[in-house]
Amino acid sequence: MTNAAVCNCLDTFEGATESMELFCRLIYSYYYIKSLYLNDMSDGILAESYERGERALEFWQALRSTAVPPGYADIAMESELLITIVTARRTEGREFHYLLQVMHRLATLLTGCGEGQRCAEVLVCDVESGPTDNEDAALLERQFRVVRRSPEERRRNQAPVNIFEKEKQDYVYCLRKGWELARPKNLLVLEDDALPGSDFFAVVRNLLSRRFALRSLYVKLYHPERLQRYLNPEPYRILEWVGLGLVGATAVLFVLTRCTPLSSVSAAHFLFLTLYVMVAVELAGRHYLLEVRRLSPQLYAVSPATECCTPAMLFPGNSSLRVAEYLEGSFCFKGNAKDMVLYQMARTVSGGWAHSLEPNLVSHIGAFSSVRPNPVRPRVL
């Protein structure tokens, strides 16, 4: 073997090694090696979130001393879109200032719809019922409308219930309060650790312009990335998976017949390549394939609603009232949280069409849960 051939072999081997290492670092790929990368990756993401929280805190503290025009924090009636952020004081993770991060991002995005108008009205719904105030929500009061339960409502809400039922009651309160104060044409509810993406409003506007939105009970704007694989209990994904395999196999065979001595193609070749493409895509991670759709709001896919979870929910029209009424009549507990109740509602109630958006329109930045025990060292997976 010549020196050139040896060098070519070494280059090929090094390229393959680098590619394999890249796959091993993709957290939602089957190749991901938790034992090697998870701790460092989690620490890096937590550090990034902490820094983002510090910047947001400095931003809102600086605005606190700024003169605000009278009525600036009011919300307009019958606006096209009202965004309600549900928040409470966290027992753990307060130093990350999740609410301030979300509001900082929204403040940046709200001015991006042209004509000097905000893209949406914003309401902060502070559901803190403990003796200590929610300091982050109080910091926003000069810039945004913040609503809380009255002392009488707090006393009524202090009945001994489990944390899942309390979370549901808080959600219902915020749904009803948003409708009562603004009568919006559409309502979007964000939990205080759901960080909007840069194309947030462009995608929401596109969603509301689609015909399905008129018949939809709700549209989920987030589904955990680890649950976005093809091998999950979502039947529609099987059709997507098979279709991708067929298209991929066709493309590969087309290239092979044009660029190699392969002259004939059998059904066995086609079936093998179809399965090969399907397996390759699943191993690499469906999540990364979905990211291509971010090129344009029109490319975001709408599919049947999934069970988990509720960090970001769009309620077209007055559907938020139907959802609030249904939730109010249901009791939540471990294994039957509000996301499961909503999923059952979509399956059983007449006209209860519900959808999920892919890819996610928000990032779930809350490493510390408010309803479940937290580990000493949180992990992103």
What is the Cα–Cα distance from 362 to 192, expressed in whole angstroms?
11
What's residue 292's pLDDT? 94
Residue 10 confidence (pLDDT): 33
Q: What is the DSSP string of 57-124?
A: HHHHHHHHTS---TTTT---TT-S-EEEEEE---SS-GGG-HHHHHHHHHHHHTTTTSTT--SSEEEE
> Do 199 and 170 belong together in one domain?
yes
Looking at the structure, tell me whether residues 82 and 150 fall in a common domain: yes
Q: Are residues 141 and 241 in the same domain?
A: no
Phi and psi for 13 in degrees, rounded to 5? -65, -45
Query: Residue 171 and residue 187: Cα distance in Å, rounded?
Result: 13
Per-residue pLDDT at 338? 95
Residue 159, sorted as left (phi over 0), alpha (psi -120 to 50) or beta, turns out to be beta
Element (H, E) at 358: strand 353-358
Token code pair at residue 96: 């990350």
Q: Residue 117: which CATH number?
A: 3.90.550.10
Q: In terms of residue numbers, what domain contains 239?
A: 235-284
Same domain, 149 and 170: yes
With b for 16 or more beta-carbon neighbours within 10 A and e for fewer, the 2-17 pattern comes to: eeeeeeeeeeeeeeee
pLDDT digits (tens, 9 = 90+) for 75-99: 889 999 999 999 999 888 899 999 9
User: pLDDT tens digits for the chain (381 residues)?
Assistant: 444 443 343 344 344 445 556 778 889 999 998 888 999 999 999 999 999 999 999 999 998 877 676 666 788 899 999 999 999 998 888 999 999 999 999 999 998 887 767 899 999 999 988 778 899 999 999 899 999 998 888 777 776 689 999 999 999 999 999 999 999 999 999 999 999 999 999 999 999 999 888 889 999 999 999 999 998 878 889 999 999 999 999 999 888 888 877 767 788 889 999 999 999 999 999 999 999 999 999 999 999 998 889 999 999 998 999 999 999 999 999 999 999 999 999 888 877 789 999 999 999 999 887 767 787 788 887
SS3 316: strand
Edge-to-edge order in the sheet of strand 82-87: 145-148, 121-126, 82-87, 186-191, 312-316, 216-220, 353-358, 301-304
CB of 309 closer than 8 Å to CB of 224: yes
Task: Tell me the per-residue pLDDT of 318-376, one tens digit each, with 9 for 90 and over.
Answer: 899 999 999 999 999 999 999 999 999 988 887 778 999 999 999 999 988 776 778 77
- The pLDDT value recorded for residue 159 is 66
Residue of 6, 314, 19, 340 whose CA lies nearest to 167: 340
Do residue 218 and residue 243 come from a single domain?
no
Q: What is the pLDDT of residue 258?
A: 81
pLDDT digits 0-9 by tens, 172-182: 999 999 999 99
CA angle 72, 76, 77 (to 5 degrees): 160
User: Is there a contact between 182 and 79 (Cβ–Cβ < 8 Å)?
Assistant: yes
* CA–CA distance, 28 with 286 (Å, rounded to integer): 8
Angle in degrees, CA 55, 56, 58, rounded to 5? 65
Amino acid at position 67, single letter: A
User: What is the share, in percent, of the chain residues with pLDDT greater than 90?
Assistant: 61
Q: Is 114 in the same domain as 156?
A: yes
Structural domain count of the chain: 2
Check: CB of residue 46 under 8 Å from CB of residue 126: no
Shared domain for 240 and 214, answered yes or no, is no
Cα–Cα distance, 284 to 119 (Å, whole number): 37
Cβ neighbours for 233, distance < 8 A, ≥ 6 positions apart: none
**For tokens 């001393």, what's the residue?**
65
Residues 117, 137 within the same domain: yes
Residue 176 and residue 211 in one domain: yes
Could you tell me if residue 18 is inside a domain? Answer: no
